[in-house]
Amino acid sequence: LDDPGLDNVAGEEFLQEVLQILLEEGVRKNTDVTQKVGTPEHPGGWGFPIPPHPIPISSPNPIPNPIPNPIPSPSPSSILNPNPIPVPTRVWLEGAPWEGGTLRLLLGPSRYTYEVAPVLVLMEEQVLAKLRELVGWSSGDGIFAPGGSMSNMLAMNVARFRRFPESRSRGNWDLPRLALFASQESHYSIQKGAAFLGIGTDNVHLVRTDERWVLGGPGDPELGGRSVSPSLSVPLRGKMIPEELEKEIQRVKAEVRGGCTPHVPKAPQTPQCLPSIPNGLPSVPKAPSKSVCPPLSPQSLLQCSQSPSCVPKTPIADSVTWNPHKLLMVGLQCSAFLLRDSSVGAPHPSQGLLQRCHGVGASYLFQRDKFYDVSLDTGDKSPQCGRRADGLKLWILWKAVGSRGLGWRVERAFAATRYLLEQVKKREGFQLVMEPEFLNLCFWFIPPSLRGQESSPEFWDRLGKVAPAIKEKMIRRGSMMVGYQPHGSRVNFFRQIVTNPAVTRQDLDFFLDEIQELGWDL
């Protein structure tokens, strides 16, 4: 113990070498459109053994391993996130969020008390207040969570606590049987949350959504006169039907022995896969709690102040989950859980819902006799207490580009989607799954070998194999990575979302050209 146990000089040299790798591989190559998006490798091809002794980054790796250096370059095996060529839900490596993320890592703060991270606590409170203002609330509460799914689970837990405060101490067994209602297009985290919180997935009731037809039919003018088989004009579900929610609540209450308590009606929300914007909430007078919203992608439209299609404010919701790491490109992770909680700051009760639901007041952290306002010790509001300072990234980006700059990004994302939509309608072999209302553009590519065979009994089965085959080709070529999926009775289709403000028309043309080239001979 007579000498320091760390070599600061060696640590600085190590960091300098890591920064050089980050600059070369993470910045220069990641913004070079001539680089491959990624190189496919099976999991068995990698190995990351822990060395018994320190190894200089610049020296060859003496351990038998396909990776040449102890700190591997991300390019051979990872997605090149900032590259403008489309990949799933892009993450753009621009200055402000990158600086925010890097600063967060270098500071290494844990955001649980004001005395540990005073500036970061105040930054987070400011950002949360601004987000609530954009949603339409003049006051309330909130916290940053590790992702939208966890934010949803926080919403479900707080909603249960609000209706049944005794659930915190007695658990579910002492409660009436709870029922959770969500759109049949809702995010999968609703099911996960029900399982995680002990509500049970059998008690999640999915409410029917409406049907929207894919274009008209043969000769639809929006297709430029191209003929489309009636078999391709299939109904798609998108928006929850408000009246169906009321019916479902009454049905479940009548069928469940001993009664049932409606819990957490989850609406409105944008479907995870289909490009729909939700209907308004119904009036459910017998439901004991108001609605709690899951991830609301349309809320990102609130940034788009000049757009007539912006979603209105949401005073009817008790909570909103907002993920700036998606449309606003802040960088993973940055997910805000917002509460319209009037009890925050009130004399009775003196604590908000988050604090009363999750707080335990650990005496070694959350003393009540500190010299400052202890309401700034926000760690007790979160189930995990210590958290990364995710709000720092959004604060820096907001300062860098302003609210107008964020709105411009949203407008540009919609412009890119409109351009892709026009091109899909014009190009032979491309067929929309449904007209988009948001940024999700869903379409099939029909290779020449299948055109004109829509009435064939094996048409849909063969079409469902096209998207996976094209994706395999593009990954092996390293040109793009685009997601596909089936949905209900509809076979695999491509689902593209363009949020990267670096994307140009040339990139979008390449995206469609590449799909056409790779699928031409299928």
Whether residue 122 is contained in a domain is answered as yes
- What are the φ and ψ backbone dihedral angles of 481, each rounded to 5 degrees? -145, 110
Six-digit token string for 25: 């591989």
Tell me: do 125 and 71 sit in the same domain.
no
Radius of gyration of the chain (CA): 26
The span from the CA of 299 to the CA of 334, in Å, is 15
Whether residue 298 is contained in a domain is answered as yes
Six-digit token string for 230: 């009636």
CB-CB contact of 219 with 189 (8 Å): no
Whether residue 246 is contained in a domain is answered as yes
Tell me: do 415 and 378 sit in the same domain.
no
Tell me: do 146 and 245 sit in the same domain.
yes
Tell me: do 231 and 372 sit in the same domain.
yes
Tell me: do 374 and 428 sit in the same domain.
no
Q: What is the pLDDT of residues 386-437, one digit of tens each?
A: 888 888 888 888 887 788 888 888 888 899 999 999 999 999 999 999 888 8
| Residue that finishes a domain, picked among 59, 80, 101 | 80
Q: For residue 475, give the CATH number of its domain.
A: 3.90.1150.170
The span from the CA of 447 to the CA of 454, in Å, is 12
CB-CB contact of 448 with 427 (8 Å): no
| Residue that finishes a domain, picked among 388, 416, 433 | 388
**Cα-based distances in Å from 448 to 232, 421, 516, 517:** 16, 21, 10, 11
For 187, the 3-state DSSP assignment is coil
What is the domain count for the chain? 3
Closest by CA to 381, choosing from 161, 192, 173, is 161
Q: For residue 170, give the CATH number of its domain.
A: 3.40.640.10
How would residue 360 be classed by pLDDT, with cut points 50, 70 and 90? Answer: confident
Residue-level pLDDT at 424: 95
For residues 470-478, give the mean pLDDT: 91
| Residue that finishes a domain, picked among 354, 388, 422 | 388
Tell me: do 120 and 207 sit in the same domain.
yes
Does 321 have pLDDT greater than 80? yes
Tell me: do 355 and 223 sit in the same domain.
yes
Instruction: Determine what percent of the chain is predicted with pLDDT higher than 90.
Output: 21
Tell me: do 289 and 211 sit in the same domain.
yes
Tell me: do 58 and 126 sit in the same domain.
no
Q: What is the pLDDT of residues 159-214, one digit of tens each?
A: 999 989 999 999 888 888 888 888 888 888 999 999 999 999 999 999 888 775 44
- The residue segments making up the domain with residue 61 are 8-80
Residue-level pLDDT at 410: 87
DSSP state letters, 358-404 = H----TTT--TT-SS-GGG-GGGGSTTS----THHHHHHHHHHHHHH
Whether residue 274 is contained in a domain is answered as yes
**Residue 177 CB neighbours (<10 A):** 16
Side-by-side strand order, sheet with 261-266: 204-207, 178-183, 261-266
Tell me the whole-structure pTM to 2 decimals.
Answer: 0.75
The span from the CA of 79 to the CA of 83, in Å, is 9
CB-CB contact of 257 with 110 (8 Å): no
**Residue 33 CB neighbours (<10 A):** 14
Tell me: do 33 and 163 sit in the same domain.
no
Does 21 have pLDDT greater than 50? yes
Whether residue 105 is contained in a domain is answered as no
Whether residue 396 is contained in a domain is answered as no
Tell me: do 242 and 158 sit in the same domain.
yes
Whether residue 74 is contained in a domain is answered as yes
CB-CB contact of 88 with 481 (8 Å): yes
Tell me: do 446 and 422 sit in the same domain.
yes
62 vs 174, more confident: 174
Whether residue 262 is contained in a domain is answered as yes
Does 336 have pLDDT greater than 70? yes
For residues 281-290, give the mean pLDDT: 37
